[in-house]
A and B are shown apart, each in its own frame.
Chain A
């Protein structure tokens, strides 16, 4: 509780600031610009890593949904045996673990499937079109090898076509890509922290004389640290805000995503995901705050 109160007090002091304390640390123009630039560049990259991660996530979800939808069993049998074989297949499927539902496609639905190739008003009864059975899988899926063996034993004309299986590695790849995107964001955060730590340490070391004077006149270390921490936090916040704004404009200018479009054209934000990058500047500022606080504490302890 006390820690939380201290943290909130520190946060309030950070936001409200103390103009007098801020003036005590001499301005460092070049370092300031570098810190702001680094925070901006990192935020820009973070937005793209986020866009990549979210797009990969959407892709993985869509492919997963497709995977969960349907496999097909094709029954090629003489017309007089077709009904019996279809019933046998449905019975087998009912007893197959991992199958949620199965239904035989009625002729009009089969005709619609063939329409792109043969045109409308296809006389199905004059063609040797096989009977199709659509299989709905559970999330865990079924054992295709076992089902094939059972079908070949009991319904020799039935062939399982699990045509969506090829998507499994793609889903895995998309999920891996989402993970890599998130990992990149983590690395960007860590790199930002490292850069700001180095900049803060350099600033503290360069101002050793200022620190000595402040200590001589009775300044507590947390007062001295506050001046540096506030400065670096505000620089990171400013840089990250600019970086995020530019990156969001860049993402906005990417080619529009379409429902069935490829991955690259879908690389962007959709819906409420546009709000997610707005969390980057405060998070960047938090990273800068924590990094500078740690650096200040360490450096001030080391200084005589």
Chain B
């Protein structure tokens, strides 16, 4: 299992967001996480890459309890987990190419070979001609694709995407989904939090995805009609 949650609860300021959630995410699987706004999808994802600790229960990433990881351990986990947020953050003073290469830079793997891969990766997400552009010059769709490229440049075992299509049009959403499906076919575990049911329906025609829903502070397996 790459991610395991066991009887996990999460509270903010005494208010319980969800409780008693258990989940095992197998390597190579594709999951959608859905639920109404404020149900805790983002919090759930943050638990899955060690950005938050649960108030109760246990979260294991690659077999290790996140409570035992420490800050350095979490940093190492994040090299194995690519993350894409709805509100993508970049370093504004660096070019798109430098931003996408950030995970390589901070892990000291920015070798010439790896930088060749960067070109291929930018080509894969269709941003090669925009490599020298700065984040402020990118459109919403370009930012999302750049974020995906940054998330996968270390060839992570897991990609977590939080409303990746929230700020982009349907065509761009489809394009992003195709990239995620391609990654999954290459063996990457994918977990996408979204409230976009059309995206989920579109995905189910391309990949065998499990759909989870946070509802009433519990995690449920959503119906097959989705």
Min distance, Cβ B109 to any Cβ of chain A, angstroms: 10
- Are B71 and A221 in contact, with the CB atoms below 8 A? yes
Report Cα–Cα, A218/B80, bound state, in Å: 9
Min distance, Cβ A227 to any Cβ of chain B, angstroms: 10
B110 at the interface (CB under 8 A from A): yes
Q: How many residues belonging to A are interface residues under a CB distance threshold of 8 Å?
A: 20
Q: How many residues belonging to B are interface residues under a CB distance threshold of 8 Å?
A: 23
* Inter-chain residue pair count (beta carbon < 8 A): 53
Selected interface stretch from A92-100, A115-123, A208-216, A252-260 = A208-216
- Are A217 and B106 in contact, with the CB atoms below 8 A? yes
| A216 in complex: contacting residue of B83, B98, B110, CB < 8 Å | B83
- Are B92 and A217 in contact, with the CB atoms below 8 A? no
A128 at the interface (CB under 8 A from B): no
Using CB atoms, name the residue of chain B closest to A24: B91
- Are A216 and B92 in contact, with the CB atoms below 8 A? no
- Are A26 and B91 in contact, with the CB atoms below 8 A? yes
A218-B76 CB under 8 A given contacts A20-B110, A24-B105, A213-B102: yes
Q: B79-94, CB under 8 A of A: which get 1 and which 0?
A: 1000100000111111
Using CB atoms, name the residue of chain A closest to B93: A26
Chain B residues whose CB sits within 8 angstroms of the CB of A31 once the complex forms: none
- Are B93 and A218 in contact, with the CB atoms below 8 A? no
- Are A23 and B89 in contact, with the CB atoms below 8 A? no
A209-B89 CB under 8 A given contacts A214-B106, A217-B103, A218-B154: yes
- Are B75 and A219 in contact, with the CB atoms below 8 A? yes
Min distance, Cβ B132 to any Cβ of chain A, angstroms: 15
Min distance, Cβ A212 to any Cβ of chain B, angstroms: 6
- Are A27 and B93 in contact, with the CB atoms below 8 A? yes
A213-B78 CB under 8 A given contacts A20-B105, A220-B72: no
- Are A218 and B89 in contact, with the CB atoms below 8 A? no
A7 at the interface (CB under 8 A from B): no
A274 at the interface (CB under 8 A from B): no
| B90 in complex: contacting residue of A213, A219, A221, CB < 8 Å | A213
Q: B86-130, CB under 8 A of A: which get 1 and which 0?
A: 000111111000100011011100100000000000000000000
- Are B91 and A213 in contact, with the CB atoms below 8 A? yes
Residues of chain A from 211 to 240 with CB closer than 8 A to chain B in the complex: 212-221, 223
Chain B residues whose CB sits within 8 angstroms of the CB of A220 once the complex forms: 71-72, 75, 106
Chain A residues whose CB sits within 8 angstroms of the CB of B89 once the complex forms: 209, 212-213, 216
Q: Chain B: residues with CB nearer than 8 A to chain A?
A: 51, 71-72, 75-76, 78-79, 83, 89-94, 98, 102-103, 105-107, 110, 150, 154
Q: Chain A: residues with CB nearer than 8 A to chain B?
A: 20-21, 23-24, 26-27, 209-210, 212-221, 223, 304
20 A–B contacts, CB within 8 A, in A order: A20-B110, A21-B105, A23-B94, A24-B102, A26-B92, A26-B93, A210-B91, A213-B91, A214-B102, A214-B106, A215-B75, A215-B78, A217-B103, A217-B106, A218-B76, A218-B78, A218-B79, A218-B107, A218-B154, A220-B106
